[in-house]
């Protein structure tokens, strides 16, 4: 098919002149057979040429539906809830709900080591996490591992305050809330770079 015939072809499809390409293969006549090869090729390319503007499926999300699920937190703080937390409450909560898996001081395991600076090999919040907001977001989503989604926002703020202080990123008097959390600079952020592989022959 030349470029010109292709354009006419596609245009006619949209006008509904060549009916068979919009509806999927039906009864075929001899005249159709001649263009079957082209058609097989084009059916991939022009798949959406005759689509309606909308398929009118699904329903418009209500504000309540969005609110119920929209729990993500961005590095700029968008998504952080009201409330605040502090080190003292966080320390108490940590001992009660987290220490059993992450160790008394966040270093002993058995699960992920959470506390540690440049001097330890393990990747921790202190030496590897690039954004403070991730900590709030992740704890709220996924921890405690055996009771996911059980913490209140205030408790998550407090645990965040405790873990940031334990990693010596903030001091134990800093109150953590939607204002203060995004402003905290994480020591490891400067190391992160976007994917520098570009495809092609080079091994990176």
Partner 1 sequence: MDDKSSDKSLFSQKIKRRSLLGGAATAAVVFVQTAFGKTIQKAIPESVFKPEDDPTKQLGPFPSELGGRSAFEKPVRKPSDISSRSPLQDFYGTITPSDLHFERHHAGIPTIDPGKHKLLIHGMVEKPLVFTVADLKRFPSLSRIAFLECSGNFRTGKEAMTPQEICGLTSQSEWTGVKLSTLFREVGIKPGATWFLAEGSDAAVMTRSVPVKKGWDDAIIAYAQNGEALRPEQGYPIRLFLPGWEGNANVKWLRRIELSDQPYMTREETSRYTETIRDGKIRMFSFDMDARSIITFPSYPQHIEKGWLEIRGIAWSGRGKVLYVEVSTDAGKSWHRATLQEPILDKAHTAFRYLWQWKGESTEILSRVTDETGYTQPTLKQLIDARGTDMGGYHLNPVTAWVIKSDGSVVFKPEKLR
Contacts of 114-122 with CB under 8 Å at 24 or more apart are: 114/163, 114/166, 114/167, 115/163, 115/166, 115/167, 116/167, 117/167, 117/168, 117/187, 118/187
Asked if 195 contacts 125 with a C-beta cutoff of 8 angstroms, the reply is: no
Name which of ligand HEC, partner 1, none residue 164 binds, using a CB cut-off of 5 to 8 Å depending on partner kind: none
At 170, which helix (H) or strand (E)? none
Please report how the helices 153-166 and 133-142 are oriented relative to each other, as an axis angle in degrees rounded to 10. 130
Q: Is 130 in the site for partner 1 (CB under 8 A)?
A: yes
Residue selected from 3, 69, 110, 183 as contacting partner 1 according to rule CB under 8 A: 69
Asked if 101 contacts 144 with a C-beta cutoff of 8 angstroms, the reply is: yes
Name which of ligand HEC, partner 1, none residue 65 binds, using a CB cut-off of 5 to 8 Å depending on partner kind: partner 1
Residue selected from 10, 21, 73, 80 as contacting partner 1 according to rule CB under 8 A: 73
Q: Fill in the per-residue mask, 24 to 53: x = in contact with partner 1 (CB under 8 A), - = not in contact.
A: -----------------------xx--x--
Q: Which residues bind partner 1 (CB under 8 A)?
A: 47-48, 51, 54-55, 57-61, 65-66, 69-76, 123, 125, 128-131, 133-134, 137-138, 141-142, 145, 148-149, 188, 191-197, 199-204
């Amino acid at each position: 098919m030349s470029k010109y015939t292709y354009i006419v072809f596609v245009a006619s499809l949209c006008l509904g002149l060549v009916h068979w390409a919009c509806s999927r293969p039906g009864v075929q006549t001899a005249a159709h057979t001649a263009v079957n090869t082209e058609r097989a090729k084009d059916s991939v390319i022009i798949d959406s040429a005759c689509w309606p503007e909308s398929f009118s499926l699904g329903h418009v999300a209500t504000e309540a539906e969005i609110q119920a699920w929209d729990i993500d937190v961005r590095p700029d703080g968008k998504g952080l809830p009201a409330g605040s937390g502090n080190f003292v409450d966080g320390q108490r909560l940590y001992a009660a709900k987290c220490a059993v898996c992450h160790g008394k001081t966040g270093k002993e395991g058995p699960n992920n080591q959470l506390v540690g600076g440049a001097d330890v090999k393990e990747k921790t919040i202190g030496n590897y996490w690039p954004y403070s907001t991730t900590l709030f977001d992740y704890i709220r989503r996924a921890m405690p591992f055996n009771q996911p989604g059980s913490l209140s926002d205030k408790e998550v703020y407090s645990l965040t305050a405790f873990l940031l202080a334990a990693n010596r990123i903030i001091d134990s008097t800093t109150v953590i809330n939607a204002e203060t959390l995004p402003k905290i600079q994480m020591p490891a952020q400067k190391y992160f770079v976007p994917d520098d592989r570009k495809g092609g022959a080079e091994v990176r």
